[in-house]
Structure 1
Amino acid sequence: MTPKDPSDHPWSDLERPPLSAAALRRALLRPGSLWTSLEVVASTGSTNTDLAARAARGEAAPGAVLVAEQQTAGRGRLERAWTAPPRSGLFFSVLLAPDVPAARWGWLPLLAGIATAGALARTAGVDTALKWPNDVLVRYRGEERKVGGILAERVARPGGAACVVLGIGLNVSLRAEELPVPTAGSLVLAGASGTDRDPLLRSVLRSLEEWYGRWRAADGDPEASRVREAYTAGCATLGRRVRALLPGDRELLGEAVAVDGDGRLVLASGEGVQQPVDAGDIVHLRPASGTSPDRPPQESPGE
């Protein structure tokens, strides 16, 4: 029998205590809440993959929350890996069944970005920004660093009812030597006032519930729900010269001038031609015009 790795024990790192599923349930699963169930697992490949599979089998209802203390095959956009040491971050997925026109579902990851960035700013005391479409940024040593990513995937429940699995990954207590790539960051490195994952998770889920409720009440309208206004206010991509890496090995250079009513990023070329981008990787090439010179141009981390 292979000896168990001591580092797998929940209390192997006292600076990274385990989450209490019971305490989280007491705080979040109240009458009338969006959240209907909450489970914390020690380790899994991907919470998005697991929750999508449960939903497809009819084993998870809308409002389900699945949290992992460690992900070994976490996925970002374009199937990129998202890994971190056990209990060093928040890795969770939620199952949603939006009763709004499907054409407006593309706002969900942007809405989740607003909710997450706001919750981190309030609870951890860090300045946050959003990189279109699904990155949460902080600043570390004067540079933009990716601290979180969001992934939304559609899944059909038994009977054909469509749902969305929304996954959120956040680096909380990763030390500099633990960062997976030089462009990554963490809350602790950004000077967070607190890195207790329990209040952070509660705050993010409550913020997500609030914004999701506004959006649903407005039938998914990004203007009436003020989702577009909030996203535009917090988006670090707008006003920047960027490179859009598009499907089919295409590339587009321009200034990011707006997020349109469908959640697409609108780029303006040097000739003034505007083109919406609905999918692709965005690289920040330089600060927005008028931005303080002590904020040098940085390429934002990939998903």
Structure 2
Amino acid sequence: MTPRDASDANDNRWSDLDRPPLNTAALRRALVREGALWSEVDVVQRTGSTNSDLVARAAAGKAAEGAVLVAEEQTAGRGRMDRHWTAPPRSGLFFSVLLNPAEVPVARWGWLPLLTGVAVATGLARAAGVDTSLKWPNDLLVTVGDEERKTGGILAERAGEDGVVVGVGINVTLRADELPVPQAGSLALAGATTTDRDPLLRAVLRSLEDWYGRWRSTGGDPAASGLQETYAAGCATLGRIVRAELPGDRSITGEAVAIDGDGRLVLATENGVQEPVGAGDIVHLRPA
């Protein structure tokens, strides 16, 4: 095989029969309908970052609320603190959505990544039979063997004055020899009943539409919408001893005891103080 032939094979949408391409037309038929949140679904073969692309579309007035952008491969996917997220083509779900929660006070928009986590975990449980838990604030965890592994992440970014782009990355069929780090996992490694990405994506987006609608209808009230309680029930961070690594090279160690009304993680420290953490890296140290 010549170098050109090899390149063509790698670019062929059917080069990995275990990882067929998404069916764009079927996704649109299932998700874009009158009265639904999702207004358009676009699937691209390769891009740097779906979040960056959708933020740019929104800024140019080329995307409305409910736009969904999916990539078969991301070459510059980003997580929190500009960490990179890469995976083989068609091995996961990499997508971003544009939301415009105009009737919700901006102070409550910080709940959107947590809401997305609940929606993704709910959708995957239904469609793939995988118990997905949430590591505060934006990681999706599965169990591989007896180990807790990260299989996905969420990143929310402002898009202009009245929009938010929420990006989701989920490892679906990554094999053990493809994992970027030993702490990573995938739905396949966690024993998913299906790794067909079309029904998985439909389930996740329908769940996100449902939770977003509940939250928006209560003006973003996390208690009245049931979001705060549901997030806490599925949060693997609560009840554990953790270290919060904060901006400015500061850290706090304590037991994670609650998610407060602002979506912050509340730590009970050894000196008896309960301290809310609104941003930072959380390291699970051991069960409480």
**What's the TM-score, normalizing by structure 1?**
0.92
Letter in 2 for 1:78: M
Alignment of 1:1-303 (within 5 A): 3=4, 4-99=7-102, 100-156=104-160, 161-288=161-288
Letter in 2 for 1:246: L
- Structure 2: unaligned runs, 5 residues or longer: none
Post-superposition offset of 1:5: 3.8
Q: Distance in 1 between matches of 2:259 and 2:150?
A: 20
Deviations 1:246-297 (A, max 9, x none): 0011111010000000000000101210100000000000023xxxxxxxxx
Letter in 2 for 1:117: A
For 1:297, the equivalent position in structure 2 comes to none
Deviations 1:86-137 (A, max 9, x none): 0000000000000210000000000000000011111111111100000110
Q: Quote the RMSD (CA, aligned, Å).
A: 0.8
**What's the TM-score, normalizing by structure 2?**
0.97
Give secondary structure in 2 for the equivalent of 1:34: coil
Q: Distance in 2 between matches of 1:121 and 1:179?
A: 22
Letter in 2 for 1:227: L
- Structure 1: unaligned runs, 5 residues or longer: 289-303
Dislocated runs of 4+, deviation >2 Å: 2-5
Q: Distance in 2 between matches of 1:252 and 1:183?
A: 23
Letter in 2 for 1:279: A
Q: Distance in 1 between matches of 2:185 and 2:91?
A: 12
